[in-house]
Structure 1
Amino acid sequence: MNLLPLAPDGTTPVRVLTIAGTDSGGGAGIQADSRTMAMCGVHACVAVAAVTVQNSVGVSGFHEIPPEIVAAQVRSVVGDIGIGAAKTGMLASSSIIEAVAAVCTEVGIGKDQPVPLLVDPVCASMHGDPLLHPEALDAVRNTLIPIATVVTPNLDEVRLITGIDVVDDRTARQAAEALFALGAKWSLVKGGHLRTSTSSTDLLFDGDKFLEFTSPRIDTGNDHGGGDTLGAAIVCALANGYSVPDAVEFGKDWVTRCLAASYDLGAGHGPASPLWRLRTNEL
């Protein structure tokens, strides 16, 4: 795969922003985002939206950050440091979603804005533990997705947001169209959870054409944070000037490498690991 360029020593690297929740077990959320961003040679800025209590087995609770503090973090980073792209992850509640959408519009982040925005509409952990209040789904549909440059739900999130149960290529295309209809500039339906073949295909749609990105399916139960890792890699590529299709291709290749390098952690699911890059000559 072609890796993103590293800035020379003493040179300020490309900057990106993740607006998401923490993972105390270090496998997903802001921790997964920051790991990938660092390994991609990008400086990660963060706006913490929630603090979770979780480990490799599951999520036992979370605490929401006040919406005005979430928005203030975004405003502070963009006003001083500047960013090339941003992503959202766990936003927990309608009030946080509305605050994030408003501040992103204010500072020029989002669809048709100077700074592209990837929306990962996190609704639940991989164990099924809720990470979004149920009443906030309307805010995801009506407030967050409409400002997305690209929206990247997994199949469970697709079903919650659109009501479409993706079981094959036909229903994946229907889901991509339904997500696009909610206002995103591009919709990406991730096929990683559709375990019906030896490959994994993600489907990208821009309202006109469908693009497929297929990789070998990695046989591992250690896939915690895989969606965060994919989204973070896409954002890093966008910040480096990639088009959305090229950024998705880069992200797909990246997360496949991370899944192949995943490791055991705790009693549950270990994380997808971008640390593979440290063990190669590709730095």
Structure 2
Amino acid sequence: MRPPRVLTIAGSDSGGGAGIQADLKAMLANGVHGMSVLTAITAQNSLGVQGAWELPAEQVRAQFRSVVDDIGVDAVKTGMLASESMVRVVAELLRTLPDGVPVVVDPVSVSKHGDPLLAADAMEAVRSDIVPLATVLTPNLTELGPVSGVEQRTVEDRELAAKELLHAGAAWVLVKGGHDEGDTSVDVLHGPGVRRAYSAARADNRHTHGTGCTLASTIASYVARGYDVPAAVGAAKEYVTGAIEAGFALGDGIGPVDHAWRFRGSGS
């Protein structure tokens, strides 16, 4: 029997820690068949992003149609969309998906090292064109203000931002707390009549490159496997927590999370 099919639409990380590469590793580790549509290519390593090149729109459309029209999809995850024009191309493609295919949106704007991965004028297009298509939207605390249009000054502002994003059309909003201080990382899921917190002890490990990509891809994987959204988020939080704890040094900067931590821990 074939595994569920999950498509990632995102940029490539040449260092293998984030982006398309992290997505496909997370999908494999969580029991689905991963497929990809590249929106951009980056020259990237543990120290940062040295260059980024957006792919032509016709190449993105061709990749998407090639996969969806022949292989089909059970869920889609989006990541780096690079520019306003690319956001609109991807939104146009997402609208052609068969009814009921869930879409997990990671509104990527900067890399782990602080390098921009989304043009300054593109977040409005994300809010207007991509957010209404999101089954699950996964902003971190850096992305929450720009994608919602709500300035973030207090914890209460996070709640207001999540409500605004639900009003904008997202079915579920997961506000990630990884950028908070403290010994515990708390992500909060907002949805129809639901507010649920997912807590995990914060690992004492600086090697966290690819965390956001990995979480969103894992949520998409579990939704494709038939989990409801709260259960998918819980399973993804558990997987990512283990991957962060097992993150390893690579190069001279911030290393990646370990997507294979469960296999390494099995003794096989």
| 2:151 is the alignment partner of 1:164 | yes
| 2:238 is the alignment partner of 1:238 | no
Matches within 5 A, 1:121-270: 121-161=107-147, 162-165=149-152, 167-168=154-155, 170-195=156-181, 197-270=182-255
- CA distance 1:189–1:260, change in 2 (3 Å): same
**What does residue 101 of structure 1 align with?**
91
* Alpha-carbon distance between aligned partners in 2 of 1:166 and 1:277, rounded to the nearest angstrom: 38
When structure 1 is superposed on structure 2, of 59-68 and 174-183 the one drifting more is 174-183
CA shift for structure 1 position 127: 1.4
Matches within 5 A, 1:39-50: 39-50=29-40
4+ residue segments displaced more than 6 Å: none
CA shift for structure 1 position 238: 0.4
Q: Find the residue that maps to 2:24 and give its secondary structure.
A: helix
What is the one-letter code of the residue matched to 1:171?
D
What is the one-letter code of the residue matched to 1:117?
V
- Which ranges in structure 2 are unaligned for 5 or more consecutive residues? none
Q: Find the residue that maps to 1:54 and give its secondary structure.
A: strand
TM-score using structure 2 length: 0.95
| 2:46 is the alignment partner of 1:61 | no
**What does residue 52 of structure 1 align with?**
42
TM-score using structure 1 length: 0.90
- 1:234–1:247 CA contact under 8 A, matched in 2: yes
What is the one-letter code of the residue matched to 1:38?
L
* Alpha-carbon distance between aligned partners in 1 of 2:133 and 2:78, rounded to the nearest angstrom: 11
1:163-218 deviation per Cα after TM superposition (whole angstroms, max 9, x unaligned)? 332653x23222211221221011110001111x2111111111432111111111
* Alpha-carbon distance between aligned partners in 1 of 2:153 and 2:25, rounded to the nearest angstrom: 30
